[in-house]
Structure 1
Amino acid sequence: MPVVGDYERLAQSHLSRAAWDYYATGSNDMESLRDNLRAFRKYLLRPRILKGISRISTETHLLGYRAQSPLCISPSAMQRMAHPDGELATSRAMAQFHSCMVLSTYSTTALEEVIDQGNPHSSYWFQLYLYQNRPVSAELIRRAEVAGYRALVLTVDTPMVGRRLADARNHFKLPPPWRLANFPDDFQILTASERAAREANGPQLADHLSNESLGNRSDTSLTWQSCLPWLRSVTRLPIILKGVLTRADAALAVQHGCAGVIVSNHGGRQLDGVQASIDALAEVVKGAQGQLEVYFDGGVRCGADVFRALALGARAVFIGRPVLWGLAANGQKGVEAILHELQSELEDAMRLTGCATLTDIQAQCLYRTGYPIPSQL
């Protein structure tokens, strides 16, 4: 049976160089990208015996909604570069899986069409950047509410764009006929990677676009006091912050009434040299103090990685690049194969460690080589 690594190799053979580099590479020297993968190996599994694991359940609840599995889909932009069905295929796969999908603002399929492929057994959340032109953001939020999205995921780790050198070398641009489908035809806003590529090859290029005015850019002046009160003034949806890596910021998220945080370093695409997401997880959980839901994103390549993140306190684990590999290799069926393989591997890890339910997966199920896990101090 193919595993994630097999689909990664298939995806590379299917994708153009620019598309592969966009999905697969990170910022600067890509140390954080590599560390996201390597860091999992420090956490060894500690099996318990004779625990009675004839029946396994991976059911959980996310913001009060039942999910069949803690495996969820991260927001990934421009999925039609990977496969013509793009976000539609990913959504159909999630509809079969009964968990949660986060849709990127920069999707190549309109947010209404994506959720239409789902069903009541799956949750859809909408990932959001806040623009200096606030009515643009407000309209996206309004549409997400009307369409039935159950939460907003505000990306908070992009006050500026990371140095994505491969995108700059490739002069990255979303290839026709694809477009950013959540924006009007005459609002050709640049994605972070497109802007970074243009600025790396001449700062004036980005600013000569007639429709790329300052108001259409992500707002780099955001603060706790400026963005969260504004969001609450325009929506009643739960607010989740994506890109939290410290105990202090988790505590601030609690203070500001957020429903959840996603521990993530943006897949190593922003600040290179930042700690691996898995190494930040226990600290963030401690800062949250059980007052909000903590989710995890970054570097998961097998079901045992999912198990590790759950043991360190994540309520759910979001999958990014592996979903894109499945999509590029075989569309909806490829995404389904990735999700089912990770689910099967998670259940194997649960059985072999003596965990019948997700609540059985605790920090005591892990041993961190060289350093104790905080709960073991």
Structure 2
Amino acid sequence: MTTTEQTVPRDLAQLEARAAESLSPESLGYIRAGAGDRDSTRANAAAFRRWRIKRRPGRTPEKVDLSTTILGTRMPAPVLFAPVGVQTLAHPQGDLATARAAAELGLTYVHSTQGAYKMEDVARANGDGARWYQLYWPTDDELVASFLSRAAAAGYTHLVITLDTTLLGWRPLDLDIGYSPFLENKGIANYTSDPVFQRKHMPVPAEVAPLAAGVAFAGVFQNPGLSWDQLPLIRRNWDGPILLKGIQSPRDARLAVKHGIDGIVVSNHGGRQVDGAIASLDALVPVVDAVDGRMPVLFDSGIRTGRDAFKALALGADAVLVGRPYLYGLALDGQRGARRVMRTLVDELEHEVRRARHRSHRTLSRSSLTRAR
């Protein structure tokens, strides 16, 4: 048994518990935090337990093909590294380590605007891997254009715009600890390295005045006035596919189609931003029906195991994004830990598809599941 196998358990509860022991209270609070009393976070997990996998009679396939293509990106499995900010709270190498792990596995890496390392450094770590860029849309349109120009130049092929964080969520764990990594110049590397941000908002280097950098970031981050009418700004500055992350209603899904968006991600941000929100899995089927095959529908919020991924795919998701679990692996063993967690999830997904007598996840459907009683 290797050191990584000993350090990073496959069992989810043990994985989280062991990671919690290794993290500081501030880091653990930030990573685990959900909005309010974490009702939405718990609802995400509970929604998966309301579905059971059906086993089909017949011969078990010798092999399973999990490969897929989403908006031109080829993937060995319908699983992506979700965008997660401030990953250095889990490990000093943060995004660099997880970008390398994604490349080793061939899985698509989605880099967060709140990355602990700037997008160019993460792109170099990712090498020839597939990578998308996630945008938190700030109030400064010139800064938006600069972010997108830099991302395209660094080889990010798809843009994922997060819609549910125009205001930060009310997170008591963070408030009680009194901790914000951004005020320590953590998780804002894409801002402090940006020439537009430096010129307009932060004339003093962030290393010299980290608190001032955090305050300057806070001044442009929250964007409650964001609306559908502003999408032409993105189209003028981005040539690749565009996905909207945070869709939870059929109406918004239809609006995404109407506005020519290329794909959507059904998500409630893992319960981090709005407490009492509908569980992401409960939103999936109505959104899939509303889209009616006119664009890919991806899913996140609550995926912890290959079984969870199976259920989301059976309910109509084209692929799933995974966040917190790989952070726990990162905390325990850096790049190797993140790789092991995601490899384990993909292996379990393959196992469950095979046990259900399918040769590919693409033949899964709602009939592959039954409601728990």
Match of 1:19 among 13, 17, 27: 27
Q: Who is 1:335 aligned against?
A: 338
Q: Who is 2:208 aligned against?
A: none
The answer to whether 1:219 aligns with 2:223 is yes
| Cα drift, residue 211 of structure 1 | 3.0
The answer to whether 1:280 aligns with 2:283 is yes
Secondary structure of residue in 2 paired with 1:183 = helix
Deviations 1:246-265 (A, max 9, x none): 11111111111111111110
Deviations 1:116-144 (A, max 9, x none): 12244x32111101111111111111000
Deviations 1:101-125 (A, max 9, x none): 11110101111111212244x3211
Secondary structure of residue in 1 paired with 2:216 = coil
Do the aligned partners of 1:36 and 1:267 also contact (CA within 8 Å) in 2?
Answer: yes
Secondary structure of residue in 1 paired with 2:180 = coil
Task: Give the letter for the 1:220 counterpart.
Answer: P
C-alpha spacing 1:24/1:247, structure 2 compared with 1 (3 Å) = same
Match of 2:292 among 289, 293, 296: 289
Using the TM superposition, name which of 66-75 and 177-186 deviates more. Answer: 177-186
Secondary structure of residue in 2 paired with 1:367 = strand
**TM-score of the superposition, structure 2-length normalised?**
0.89
Q: Aligned partners of 1:20 and 1:352: how far apart in 2?
A: 36
| Cα drift, residue 177 of structure 1 | 7.3
Secondary structure of residue in 2 paired with 1:11 = helix
C-alpha spacing 1:147/1:209, structure 2 compared with 1 (3 Å) = closer
Match of 2:67 among 55, 59, 70: 59
Secondary structure of residue in 1 paired with 2:36 = coil
| Cα drift, residue 97 of structure 1 | 1.0
Do the aligned partners of 2:85 and 2:187 also contact (CA within 8 Å) in 1?
Answer: no
Secondary structure of residue in 1 paired with 2:321 = strand
Do the aligned partners of 1:207 and 1:213 also contact (CA within 8 Å) in 2?
Answer: no
| Cα drift, residue 184 of structure 1 | 2.2
Deviations 1:4-42 (A, max 9, x none): 322211211111101101110201111111111111011
Match of 1:107 among 85, 92, 115: 115
C-alpha spacing 1:254/1:51, structure 2 compared with 1 (3 Å) = farther
Q: Who is 1:195 aligned against?
A: none
Task: Give the letter for the 1:71 counterpart.
Answer: V
The answer to whether 1:253 aligns with 2:256 is yes
C-alpha spacing 1:208/1:44, structure 2 compared with 1 (3 Å) = closer
Q: Who is 1:88 aligned against?
A: 96
Secondary structure of residue in 2 paired with 1:346 = helix
Q: Who is 1:355 aligned against?
A: 358
Secondary structure of residue in 2 paired with 1:182 = helix
| Mapping of residues 229-244 of structure 1, within 5 Å | 229-244=232-247
| Cα drift, residue 330 of structure 1 | 0.7
Q: Who is 2:78 aligned against?
A: 70
| Cα drift, residue 208 of structure 1 | 12
C-alpha spacing 1:247/1:148, structure 2 compared with 1 (3 Å) = same
Secondary structure of residue in 1 paired with 2:27 = helix
Do the aligned partners of 1:76 and 1:320 also contact (CA within 8 Å) in 2?
Answer: yes
Q: Who is 2:144 aligned against?
A: 137
Task: Give the letter for the 2:320 counterpart.
Answer: V
Secondary structure of residue in 2 paired with 1:261 = strand
| Cα drift, residue 212 of structure 1 | 5.2
Q: Who is 1:127 aligned against?
A: 134
| Cα drift, residue 245 of structure 1 | 0.6
The percentage of aligned residue pairs carrying the same residue is 36
| Consecutive unaligned residues in structure 1, runs of 5 or more | 191-205, 371-377
Secondary structure of residue in 1 paired with 2:190 = coil
| Consecutive unaligned residues in structure 2, runs of 5 or more | 203-210
Secondary structure of residue in 1 paired with 2:276 = coil
Do the aligned partners of 1:189 and 1:217 also contact (CA within 8 Å) in 2?
Answer: no
Q: Who is 1:154 aligned against?
A: 161
**TM-score of the superposition, structure 1-length normalised?**
0.88
What's the C-alpha RMSD, in Å, of the aligned pairs? 2.2
Q: How many matched pairs? A: 352
Q: Aligned partners of 1:306 and 1:210: how far apart in 2?
A: 39
C-alpha spacing 1:273/1:117, structure 2 compared with 1 (3 Å) = same
Do the aligned partners of 1:60 and 1:358 also contact (CA within 8 Å) in 2?
Answer: no
Secondary structure of residue in 2 paired with 1:163 = coil
